[in-house]
Amino acid sequence: MATLKVIEILSSSEKSWEDATKRAVKKASKSVKNIRSVYVQSQSAVVNNDKVTEFRVNLKITFEVG
């Protein structure tokens, strides 16, 4: 039986929510090993001058420990 841990990560991108998610996983994988899954808890965006300028995600990353 595996022991799993969940951490919460916030990430952003000027391109898309998908890109923000990929950036978060890439950054987290530098210090967290054995990432198993990512759950997108929420999404939001910043709007400037009637245009979306930043996509934000709040993620839960699950990884195996021990």
In the three-class reduction of DSSP (H, G, I as helix; E, B as strand; rest coil), residue 16 is classed as coil
- The mean per-residue pLDDT over the stretch 10-39 comes to 97
Mean of the per-residue pLDDT values of the chain: 96
Domains of the chain are 3-65 (3.30.1660.10)
**Residue 7 has what pLDDT?**
97
User: What percent of the chain shows pLDDT beyond 70?
Assistant: 100
* Confidence check: pLDDT of 1 > 90: no
* Confidence check: pLDDT of 62 > 90: yes
DSSP per-residue string spanning 29-45:
TTT--SEEEEEEEEEEE
Q: What is the pLDDT of residues 40-56, one digit of tens each?
A: 999 999 999 999 999 99
